[in-house]
Amino acid sequence: MTFDITTRLETSDGKVLGRTGVIHTPHGDIQTPAFIPVGTKATVKAVLPESVKAVGAQAVLANAYHLYLQPGSDVLDEAGGLAAFMNWGGPTYTDSGGFQVMSLGSGFKKVLSEEFSGKTVADDAVAANKERLANVDDDGVWFRSHLDGSKHRFTPEVSMRIQHELGADIIFAFDELTTLMNSRGYQEESLERTRLWAERCLHAHKKLTQERSEKPYQQLFGVIQGAQYEDLRRKAACDLGSMEVEGQRFDGFGIGGALEKENLGTIVGWVSEELPEDRARHLLGISEPDDFFRAIESGADTFDCVNPSRVARNAAIYSPDGRFNITRAQFKRDFSPLVEGCECYTCTHYSKAYMHHTFKAKEMISSTLATIHNEYFTVTMVDKIRRSINEGYYEEFKKETLGRFYAKK
């Protein structure tokens, strides 16, 4: 077994989808729920791997698209895999590159659909041709490198080969990212394409696992798409949850695609109700406190997001009382820590005044220290949620945490 459930969460509305558990990998166990910091190019920007470990992170996630382009997945393979290459001793994830192929390589962004924003829905054929078919076909995706404009081709088989060479403990099936701008007709077409790609990923994964039998087994997660349509999300979850190719099935699942924040818990709930209980569920791209609570009680186990480090580089600091900007004038002579009582390296060694100064002076250490704090805050928050479930005080902890973080100042 690659995943064991420890404790089930029953919320005040009677829903029993949330749980705590353990994901087993060759590089160690991951206690869930867990936040997984993003090290896109085999580095969490501005900080040492030792610092990432010190904030309590159990695993890191890197990106197949970026590492394929630079330095090349073959280089990481020769180095002994992602963990060895970046000097990270724990478990690792890599995503399939599907999101970056669409958003960077093809120039698409996650935007609200005309349908969900109340505008007139564009004609299916026009929307599909304009937004997708110039780049996507049933076999794979053509895209241009955002680095030098060179043309590349990703297929399910190529993504699997790249991720096997990257050597992460948990890898993801290649899927087509749709935006909420795509019409219902195109979402249906894309969902079927992603289903067929998932079958090809399972086949390629088994073949590569056999060919590289000297390497540790890599768990393959299928990715659930379907935008904000309940029937499509449930269908995708049923299809991938029961999918088996030559005895190979998915070891877990990623919940991906575009969705509106207010629908996050509902969509995760739809998917969790359909997926097998004995396999882990990873929600791609969230890091805000309210999103964590919604997602966890709806059945998600792990999460990743670039946001804690990204906003840190722009002087935004997480605190139990919300986010604040350390460059504000009021902090110039404030010699208290960023957050009173915080046990991260930054808060136990530096003051708001020092952080204010280093950002104003554009010193590189500012990004390092702010990132350490934000990653610690985020990892620790999810750890506390896990503890509250295991020890039976989830509802009280949720009310106190969210009430304080989102209180109007």
Q: Which of 104, 80, 83, 101 is nearest to 92 (CA)?
A: 83
Residue 347 contacts residue 337 (beta carbons within 8 Å):
yes
Q: What distance in Å separates the CA atoms of residue 59 and residue 39, rounded to the nearest whole number?
A: 10
Q: Which of 117, 121, 127, 132 is nearest to 263 (CA)?
A: 117
- Look up residue 379 and give its amino acid: V
C-alpha 192, offset from chain centre: 23
Q: What distance in Å separates the CA atoms of residue 356 and residue 328, rounded to the nearest whole number?
A: 8
Selected catalytic residue, list 77, 95, 251, 291: 95
Known catalytic membership, residue 304? yes
E-strand ranges in 194-247 read: 219-224, 244-245
Backbone φ, ψ for residue 68 (5° rounding): -65, -45
Provide Rg for the chain, Cα atoms: 21
Q: Is 27 helix (H, G, I), strand (E, B) or coil?
A: coil
Q: What distance in Å separates the CA atoms of residue 223 and residue 64, rounded to the nearest whole number?
A: 15
Q: What distance in Å separates the CA atoms of residue 91 and residue 59, rounded to the nearest whole number?
A: 5
Known catalytic membership, residue 77? no
- In this structure, the chain runs to a length of 409
Q: Is 312 helix (H, G, I), strand (E, B) or coil?
A: helix
Active site residues: 95, 304
